[in-house]
Chains A and B, each alone.
Chain A
Amino acid sequence: MSGRWWRPRDLACALRIRAQEPAVCVAGATDLMAGGWDPAGSYLDLSALAALAGIRETEAGIEIGALVTCTALGRHAVIRARLPLLAQSAAATGSRAIQNRATLGGNVMNASPAADNPPVLLAYGAQVRLASERGLRSLPYEEFHTGYKTTACAADEIVHSFLVPVPDAGSHQYFRKVGTRRAQAISKVTLALAGQAGREGLCVRIGLASVGPVPVLARTAAAVLRAGRTAACTRERLQEALQADIAPQDDIRSTRLYRDRVAFNLLKEALCGFPTWSDAF
Protein backbone atom coordinates (compact mmCIF):
# COMPACT_ATOMS: atom_id res chain seq x y z
CA MET A 1 0.00 0.00 0.00
CA SER A 2 1.39 3.36 -0.90
CA GLY A 3 1.16 6.32 1.45
CA ARG A 4 -0.04 9.86 0.91
CA TRP A 5 2.02 13.03 0.89
CA TRP A 6 0.08 16.29 1.01
CA ARG A 7 1.94 19.53 0.40
CA PRO A 8 -0.70 22.28 0.52
CA ARG A 9 0.13 25.88 -0.43
CA ASP A 10 -2.35 27.62 1.84
CA LEU A 11 -3.03 27.33 5.55
CA ALA A 12 -6.80 26.73 5.27
CA CYS A 13 -6.19 23.73 3.05
CA ALA A 14 -3.51 22.39 5.42
CA LEU A 15 -5.82 22.74 8.43
CA ARG A 16 -8.64 20.96 6.60
CA ILE A 17 -6.35 18.02 5.83
CA ARG A 18 -5.05 18.05 9.41
CA ALA A 19 -8.60 17.86 10.74
CA GLN A 20 -9.57 14.98 8.46
CA GLU A 21 -6.48 12.81 8.06
CA PRO A 22 -4.26 11.07 10.61
CA ALA A 23 -1.10 12.28 8.87
CA VAL A 24 2.30 13.00 10.38
CA CYS A 25 3.33 16.66 10.04
CA VAL A 26 6.58 17.39 8.21
CA ALA A 27 8.55 20.65 7.97
CA GLY A 28 12.33 20.40 7.32
CA ALA A 29 12.05 16.59 7.39
CA THR A 30 15.43 16.12 9.14
CA ASP A 31 14.00 14.13 12.04
CA LEU A 32 11.51 12.28 9.86
CA MET A 33 14.05 11.08 7.30
CA ALA A 34 16.68 10.23 9.93
CA GLY A 35 14.17 8.25 11.97
CA GLY A 36 13.23 5.85 9.20
CA TRP A 37 10.21 7.23 7.47
CA ASP A 38 7.55 4.86 6.28
CA PRO A 39 6.95 4.91 2.51
CA ALA A 40 3.44 3.65 3.22
CA GLY A 41 2.75 6.37 5.80
CA SER A 42 0.67 9.51 5.37
CA TYR A 43 2.40 12.87 5.68
CA LEU A 44 1.21 16.46 5.81
CA ASP A 45 4.11 18.51 4.48
CA LEU A 46 3.86 22.07 5.85
CA SER A 47 7.00 23.36 4.12
CA ALA A 48 5.18 25.32 1.40
CA LEU A 49 2.97 27.35 3.79
CA ALA A 50 3.91 31.03 3.60
CA ALA A 51 1.76 31.71 6.68
CA LEU A 52 4.25 29.78 8.83
CA ALA A 53 7.35 31.60 7.55
CA GLY A 54 9.19 34.69 8.65
CA ILE A 55 10.29 36.70 11.68
CA ARG A 56 8.39 39.84 12.74
CA GLU A 57 8.86 42.35 15.53
CA THR A 58 5.63 43.13 17.38
CA GLU A 59 4.73 45.11 20.51
CA ALA A 60 4.43 41.89 22.50
CA GLY A 61 7.69 40.40 21.33
CA ILE A 62 9.25 38.75 18.35
CA GLU A 63 7.03 36.48 16.33
CA ILE A 64 8.83 33.55 14.76
CA GLY A 65 7.06 31.36 12.20
CA ALA A 66 7.22 27.62 12.78
CA LEU A 67 9.05 27.15 9.46
CA VAL A 68 11.95 29.49 10.28
CA THR A 69 15.13 27.44 9.93
CA CYS A 70 17.98 27.23 12.42
CA THR A 71 20.25 28.92 9.87
CA ALA A 72 17.82 31.85 9.60
CA LEU A 73 17.60 32.15 13.40
CA GLY A 74 21.36 32.07 13.78
CA ARG A 75 21.89 34.82 11.22
CA HIS A 76 18.88 37.09 11.64
CA ALA A 77 19.98 40.53 12.87
CA VAL A 78 16.96 41.01 15.15
CA ILE A 79 17.29 37.56 16.72
CA ARG A 80 21.03 38.01 17.26
CA ALA A 81 20.56 41.41 18.86
CA ARG A 82 17.41 40.86 20.91
CA LEU A 83 17.13 37.09 21.49
CA PRO A 84 20.80 36.11 21.38
CA LEU A 85 20.26 32.80 23.17
CA LEU A 86 18.01 31.64 20.36
CA ALA A 87 20.68 32.51 17.78
CA GLN A 88 23.13 30.47 19.88
CA SER A 89 20.90 27.44 20.36
CA ALA A 90 19.98 27.41 16.66
CA ALA A 91 23.67 27.49 15.73
CA ALA A 92 24.27 24.58 18.13
CA THR A 93 21.59 22.43 16.49
CA GLY A 94 23.32 19.77 14.36
CA SER A 95 25.59 20.87 11.52
CA ARG A 96 25.19 23.58 8.90
CA ALA A 97 23.56 21.11 6.49
CA ILE A 98 21.01 20.27 9.21
CA GLN A 99 20.51 23.91 10.21
CA ASN A 100 19.70 24.79 6.59
CA ARG A 101 16.71 22.44 6.72
CA ALA A 102 15.63 22.04 10.37
CA THR A 103 12.89 24.39 11.59
CA LEU A 104 12.06 25.79 15.02
CA GLY A 105 8.54 24.36 14.80
CA GLY A 106 9.87 20.94 13.89
CA ASN A 107 12.46 20.98 16.66
CA VAL A 108 9.69 21.67 19.18
CA MET A 109 7.05 19.36 17.68
CA ASN A 110 9.47 16.44 17.44
CA ALA A 111 9.49 16.82 21.24
CA SER A 112 12.89 15.32 21.94
CA PRO A 113 13.91 16.04 25.56
CA ALA A 114 17.43 16.61 24.18
CA ALA A 115 16.41 19.25 21.61
CA ASP A 116 18.59 22.37 21.68
CA ASN A 117 16.10 25.21 21.25
CA PRO A 118 13.42 24.36 23.89
CA PRO A 119 15.55 25.42 26.92
CA VAL A 120 15.88 28.88 25.36
CA LEU A 121 12.15 29.16 24.62
CA LEU A 122 11.52 28.22 28.28
CA ALA A 123 14.07 30.74 29.58
CA TYR A 124 12.53 33.52 27.46
CA GLY A 125 8.97 32.66 28.52
CA ALA A 126 7.81 32.10 24.94
CA GLN A 127 4.25 31.43 23.85
CA VAL A 128 3.55 28.77 21.24
CA ARG A 129 0.69 29.40 18.82
CA LEU A 130 -1.30 26.47 17.55
CA ALA A 131 -3.55 26.70 14.51
CA SER A 132 -6.56 24.58 13.63
CA GLU A 133 -9.85 25.03 11.82
CA ARG A 134 -11.17 26.09 15.24
CA GLY A 135 -8.84 29.08 15.19
CA LEU A 136 -5.49 30.16 16.57
CA ARG A 137 -4.71 29.61 20.24
CA SER A 138 -1.74 30.64 22.30
CA LEU A 139 -0.19 28.54 25.02
CA PRO A 140 2.72 29.23 27.39
CA TYR A 141 5.50 27.05 25.97
CA GLU A 142 6.16 25.63 29.44
CA GLU A 143 2.76 23.89 29.17
CA PHE A 144 3.43 22.41 25.72
CA HIS A 145 5.36 19.24 26.58
CA THR A 146 3.05 16.94 28.52
CA GLY A 147 5.21 13.80 28.71
CA TYR A 148 7.90 11.93 26.82
CA LYS A 149 7.28 12.78 23.15
CA THR A 150 3.73 13.93 23.90
CA THR A 151 2.54 17.52 23.55
CA ALA A 152 -0.48 19.73 24.09
CA CYS A 153 -0.85 20.04 20.30
CA ALA A 154 -4.25 18.47 19.50
CA ALA A 155 -4.72 16.04 16.62
CA ASP A 156 -6.26 18.76 14.45
CA GLU A 157 -3.65 21.42 15.27
CA ILE A 158 -0.31 22.44 13.82
CA VAL A 159 2.43 24.59 15.36
CA HIS A 160 1.93 27.99 13.71
CA SER A 161 4.47 30.30 15.35
CA PHE A 162 6.16 31.41 18.54
CA LEU A 163 5.87 34.73 20.32
CA VAL A 164 9.01 35.43 22.29
CA PRO A 165 9.07 38.40 24.69
CA VAL A 166 12.25 40.45 24.45
CA PRO A 167 14.17 40.53 27.75
CA ASP A 168 14.67 43.95 29.33
CA ALA A 169 17.84 45.79 28.50
CA GLY A 170 20.47 44.90 31.06
CA SER A 171 19.15 41.41 31.67
CA HIS A 172 21.68 38.60 31.88
CA GLN A 173 21.45 35.75 29.42
CA TYR A 174 23.30 32.46 29.33
CA PHE A 175 23.28 29.37 27.11
CA ARG A 176 25.51 26.36 27.13
CA LYS A 177 25.17 22.96 25.54
CA VAL A 178 27.35 20.14 26.84
CA GLY A 179 27.78 17.27 24.41
CA THR A 180 30.42 14.71 23.53
CA ARG A 181 32.05 17.28 21.28
CA ARG A 182 31.19 20.78 20.22
CA ALA A 183 30.14 19.94 16.68
CA GLN A 184 27.04 18.00 15.72
CA ALA A 185 26.58 16.18 19.03
CA ILE A 186 23.34 15.50 20.87
CA SER A 187 23.39 17.20 24.25
CA LYS A 188 24.12 15.49 27.56
CA VAL A 189 22.91 18.61 29.39
CA THR A 190 21.86 22.02 28.10
CA LEU A 191 20.96 25.04 30.23
CA ALA A 192 19.59 28.43 29.26
CA LEU A 193 18.99 31.26 31.72
CA ALA A 194 17.54 34.73 31.24
CA GLY A 195 16.63 37.36 33.82
CA GLN A 196 17.89 40.08 36.06
CA ALA A 197 18.71 41.00 39.62
CA GLY A 198 15.76 42.39 41.56
CA ARG A 199 15.84 44.37 44.80
CA GLU A 200 15.96 41.19 46.88
CA GLY A 201 16.85 38.22 44.75
CA LEU A 202 17.15 37.17 41.15
CA CYS A 203 14.22 37.10 38.74
CA VAL A 204 15.34 34.44 36.31
CA ARG A 205 13.88 31.70 34.18
CA ILE A 206 15.96 28.56 33.72
CA GLY A 207 15.38 26.02 30.93
CA LEU A 208 17.16 22.68 30.63
CA ALA A 209 17.37 19.81 28.14
CA SER A 210 18.40 16.15 28.44
CA VAL A 211 17.60 16.01 32.17
CA GLY A 212 14.20 14.36 32.09
CA PRO A 213 11.45 13.10 29.78
CA VAL A 214 10.61 16.64 28.63
CA PRO A 215 12.44 19.98 28.37
CA VAL A 216 12.42 21.36 31.92
CA LEU A 217 11.62 24.79 33.35
CA ALA A 218 13.43 24.84 36.69
CA ARG A 219 10.77 26.52 38.82
CA THR A 220 12.05 25.41 42.25
CA ALA A 221 15.58 26.62 41.62
CA ALA A 222 14.22 29.92 40.31
CA ALA A 223 12.14 30.30 43.49
CA VAL A 224 15.22 29.83 45.68
CA LEU A 225 17.08 32.48 43.70
CA ARG A 226 14.10 34.83 43.93
CA ALA A 227 14.33 34.72 47.74
CA GLY A 228 17.63 36.54 47.51
CA ARG A 229 20.93 36.09 49.28
CA THR A 230 19.44 35.11 52.58
CA ALA A 231 19.75 32.04 54.78
CA ALA A 232 17.22 30.41 52.47
CA CYS A 233 19.51 30.66 49.48
CA THR A 234 22.55 28.51 50.14
CA ARG A 235 24.52 26.34 47.77
CA GLU A 236 22.88 23.26 49.31
CA ARG A 237 19.35 24.65 49.00
CA LEU A 238 19.93 25.66 45.39
CA GLN A 239 21.40 22.29 44.47
CA GLU A 240 18.51 20.45 46.15
CA ALA A 241 16.03 22.69 44.37
CA LEU A 242 17.58 22.05 40.96
CA GLN A 243 17.62 18.31 41.64
CA ALA A 244 13.93 18.51 42.50
CA ASP A 245 13.26 20.17 39.15
CA ILE A 246 15.10 17.66 36.99
CA ALA A 247 14.89 13.89 36.62
CA PRO A 248 17.95 12.80 34.66
CA GLN A 249 18.53 9.18 33.71
CA ASP A 250 21.34 6.90 32.66
CA ASP A 251 21.27 6.38 28.91
CA ILE A 252 23.60 5.86 25.95
CA ARG A 253 24.83 9.45 26.08
CA SER A 254 25.46 10.00 29.77
CA THR A 255 24.64 9.08 33.35
CA ARG A 256 22.24 10.46 35.93
CA LEU A 257 25.09 11.43 38.25
CA TYR A 258 27.00 13.28 35.52
CA ARG A 259 23.88 15.14 34.43
CA ASP A 260 22.96 16.13 37.99
CA ARG A 261 26.43 17.50 38.55
CA VAL A 262 26.84 19.24 35.21
CA ALA A 263 23.37 20.81 35.40
CA PHE A 264 24.31 22.42 38.72
CA ASN A 265 27.72 23.47 37.41
CA LEU A 266 26.06 25.14 34.43
CA LEU A 267 23.65 26.95 36.75
CA LYS A 268 26.56 28.19 38.87
CA GLU A 269 28.36 29.34 35.72
CA ALA A 270 25.21 31.12 34.56
CA LEU A 271 24.95 32.95 37.90
CA CYS A 272 28.49 34.28 37.48
CA GLY A 273 26.91 36.81 35.15
CA PHE A 274 25.37 38.57 38.17
CA PRO A 275 28.25 40.54 39.72
CA THR A 276 27.21 40.26 43.37
CA TRP A 277 26.32 36.59 42.96
CA SER A 278 29.40 35.30 41.22
CA ASP A 279 30.99 34.09 44.47
CA ALA A 280 27.76 32.96 46.14
CA PHE A 281 27.98 29.26 45.38
Chain B
Amino acid sequence: MRLRCSVNGRRLAETVCPADRLLDYLRARGCTSVKEGCGEGECGACAVLLNGRLVNSCLVPLAHAEDADVLTVEGLPDDDPLSGHFVFEGGTQCGMCTPGMVLAAHALLAECPRPDRARMQEALAGNLCRCTGFEGIYRAIARAAAP
Protein backbone atom coordinates (compact mmCIF):
# COMPACT_ATOMS: atom_id res chain seq x y z
CA MET B 1 0.00 0.00 0.00
CA ARG B 2 0.94 3.64 -0.40
CA LEU B 3 1.25 5.08 3.09
CA ARG B 4 0.90 8.79 3.66
CA CYS B 5 1.35 9.97 7.20
CA SER B 6 3.07 12.58 9.31
CA VAL B 7 5.74 11.60 11.81
CA ASN B 8 6.66 14.40 14.23
CA GLY B 9 5.38 16.93 11.72
CA ARG B 10 7.38 15.49 8.81
CA ARG B 11 5.23 14.38 5.87
CA LEU B 12 6.06 10.90 4.61
CA ALA B 13 4.75 8.99 1.61
CA GLU B 14 6.04 5.60 0.64
CA THR B 15 5.09 2.08 -0.29
CA VAL B 16 4.84 -0.24 2.71
CA CYS B 17 3.34 -3.56 3.72
CA PRO B 18 0.00 -2.78 5.45
CA ALA B 19 0.47 -5.53 8.05
CA ASP B 20 3.91 -4.33 9.14
CA ARG B 21 4.14 -2.82 12.61
CA LEU B 22 4.22 0.93 13.18
CA LEU B 23 6.95 0.21 15.76
CA ASP B 24 9.39 -1.12 13.15
CA TYR B 25 8.49 1.61 10.67
CA LEU B 26 9.26 4.36 13.19
CA ARG B 27 12.54 2.86 14.36
CA ALA B 28 13.71 2.38 10.78
CA ARG B 29 13.09 6.09 10.22
CA GLY B 30 15.24 7.20 13.11
CA CYS B 31 12.68 7.34 15.90
CA THR B 32 14.68 5.03 18.15
CA SER B 33 13.02 6.42 21.27
CA VAL B 34 10.28 3.94 20.40
CA LYS B 35 11.40 0.79 22.20
CA GLU B 36 10.33 -2.77 21.69
CA GLY B 37 9.70 -4.31 25.10
CA CYS B 38 7.22 -7.15 25.08
CA GLY B 39 5.95 -6.81 21.52
CA GLU B 40 2.42 -7.70 22.62
CA GLY B 41 0.92 -4.58 24.13
CA GLU B 42 1.72 -5.33 27.76
CA CYS B 43 4.58 -2.95 28.62
CA GLY B 44 4.02 0.38 26.86
CA ALA B 45 7.69 0.89 25.92
CA CYS B 46 6.65 1.39 22.29
CA ALA B 47 3.78 3.77 23.08
CA VAL B 48 3.32 6.72 20.72
CA LEU B 49 0.52 9.18 20.06
CA LEU B 50 -1.52 8.34 16.95
CA ASN B 51 -3.75 11.31 16.13
CA GLY B 52 -3.25 12.44 19.71
CA ARG B 53 -4.23 9.10 21.25
CA LEU B 54 -1.91 6.82 23.14
CA VAL B 55 -1.35 3.52 21.32
CA ASN B 56 1.15 0.67 21.52
CA SER B 57 2.97 0.92 18.19
CA CYS B 58 3.75 -2.82 18.32
CA LEU B 59 0.01 -3.46 17.88
CA VAL B 60 -0.66 -0.94 15.10
CA PRO B 61 -0.52 -2.26 11.55
CA LEU B 62 0.69 0.40 9.11
CA ALA B 63 -2.72 0.22 7.40
CA HIS B 64 -4.05 2.07 10.45
CA ALA B 65 -1.47 4.85 10.20
CA GLU B 66 -2.84 6.05 6.87
CA ASP B 67 -3.27 9.84 6.89
CA ALA B 68 -2.40 9.84 10.59
CA ASP B 69 -0.28 12.17 12.69
CA VAL B 70 2.26 10.22 14.72
CA LEU B 71 4.12 11.79 17.63
CA THR B 72 7.15 10.26 19.35
CA VAL B 73 9.30 11.99 21.97
CA GLU B 74 11.63 13.09 19.14
CA GLY B 75 8.75 15.37 18.16
CA LEU B 76 8.51 17.08 21.56
CA PRO B 77 10.23 20.44 21.95
CA ASP B 78 13.72 20.31 23.49
CA ASP B 79 12.48 22.28 26.48
CA ASP B 80 9.35 20.14 27.03
CA PRO B 81 8.51 20.96 30.67
CA LEU B 82 7.09 17.51 31.45
CA SER B 83 10.28 15.77 30.28
CA GLY B 84 12.28 18.16 32.46
CA HIS B 85 10.17 17.22 35.47
CA PHE B 86 10.82 13.52 34.77
CA VAL B 87 14.56 14.23 35.02
CA PHE B 88 14.33 16.50 38.06
CA GLU B 89 11.99 14.24 40.04
CA GLY B 90 13.80 10.98 39.39
CA GLY B 91 11.06 9.78 37.08
CA THR B 92 13.62 8.10 34.86
CA GLN B 93 16.48 5.71 35.58
CA CYS B 94 17.41 3.15 32.94
CA GLY B 95 15.30 5.02 30.39
CA MET B 96 13.70 2.05 28.64
CA CYS B 97 10.16 2.98 29.65
CA THR B 98 10.67 6.74 29.65
CA PRO B 99 9.63 7.69 26.09
CA GLY B 100 6.36 5.75 26.36
CA MET B 101 5.84 6.98 29.90
CA VAL B 102 6.30 10.64 28.90
CA LEU B 103 3.83 10.26 26.02
CA ALA B 104 1.30 8.49 28.26
CA ALA B 105 1.65 11.38 30.71
CA HIS B 106 1.19 13.92 27.90
CA ALA B 107 -1.96 12.07 26.76
CA LEU B 108 -3.27 12.15 30.34
CA LEU B 109 -2.59 15.86 30.85
CA ALA B 110 -4.21 16.69 27.50
CA GLU B 111 -7.52 15.20 28.65
CA CYS B 112 -7.21 15.90 32.38
CA PRO B 113 -5.01 18.89 33.25
CA ARG B 114 -5.11 18.25 37.04
CA PRO B 115 -5.17 14.46 37.51
CA ASP B 116 -5.33 12.94 40.98
CA ARG B 117 -3.23 9.93 41.94
CA ALA B 118 -5.90 7.39 40.94
CA ARG B 119 -6.24 8.99 37.53
CA MET B 120 -2.45 8.91 37.03
CA GLN B 121 -2.32 5.24 38.00
CA GLU B 122 -5.11 4.42 35.59
CA ALA B 123 -3.48 6.37 32.76
CA LEU B 124 -0.10 4.69 33.26
CA ALA B 125 -1.45 1.18 33.91
CA GLY B 126 -0.14 -0.03 30.57
CA ASN B 127 3.34 1.48 30.98
CA LEU B 128 5.64 -0.65 33.10
CA CYS B 129 8.66 0.81 34.91
CA ARG B 130 10.87 -1.60 36.82
CA CYS B 131 13.32 1.03 38.14
CA THR B 132 11.64 4.02 39.71
CA GLY B 133 8.76 2.52 41.65
CA PHE B 134 6.61 5.12 39.86
CA GLU B 135 6.78 7.70 42.67
CA GLY B 136 9.14 9.99 40.75
CA ILE B 137 6.92 9.65 37.69
CA TYR B 138 3.81 10.66 39.64
CA ARG B 139 5.69 13.64 41.13
CA ALA B 140 6.80 14.72 37.65
CA ILE B 141 3.22 14.63 36.37
CA ALA B 142 1.98 16.49 39.45
CA ARG B 143 4.56 19.23 38.84
CA ALA B 144 3.61 19.52 35.19
CA ALA B 145 -0.03 19.75 36.25
CA ALA B 146 0.55 22.47 38.86
CA PRO B 147 -0.58 25.94 37.78
- To the question of whether A and B form a pair in one complex, the answer is yes
Query: Can you pick out 12 interface pairs between chain A and chain B where the beta carbons lie within 8 Å of each other?
Result: A5-B18, A34-B40, A41-B19, A45-B61, A95-B127, A96-B125, A97-B55, A97-B126, A98-B41, A100-B55, A101-B59, A184-B125
Task: Please classify the interface of chain B as helix (H, G, I), strand (E, B), loop, or mixed, using the class held by over half of its residues.
Answer: mixed
Whether, in the assembled complex, A183 has its beta carbon less than 8 Å from a beta carbon of chain B, the answer is: yes
B126 and A95 form a contact (CB under 8 A): yes
A94 and B60 form a contact (CB under 8 A): no
Interface string of B53-68 (1 = CB under 8 A from A): 1111011110110000
Interface size on B, residues (CB 8 A): 29
B55 and A184 form a contact (CB under 8 A): no
Q: Nearest chain B CB to A53's CB is how many angstroms away?
A: 14
Whether, in the assembled complex, A2 has its beta carbon less than 8 Å from a beta carbon of chain B, the answer is: yes
Residues of B within 8 A of A (CB): 1, 17-21, 40-42, 44, 47, 53-56, 58-61, 63-64, 104, 107, 121-123, 125-127
Task: Please classify the interface of chain A as helix (H, G, I), strand (E, B), loop, or mixed, using the class held by over half of its residues.
Answer: loop
Contact partner of A101 among B40, B42, B60, CB < 8 A? B60
Number of A-B residue pairs, CB cutoff 8 Å, is 85
A29 and B122 form a contact (CB under 8 A): no
Residues of A within 8 A of B (CB): 2-3, 5, 7, 26, 29-30, 32-34, 37, 39, 41, 43, 45, 47, 71, 94-98, 100-101, 182-184
> How far apart are the CA atoms of A76 and B59 in the complex, in Å?
24
B64 and A47 form a contact (CB under 8 A): yes
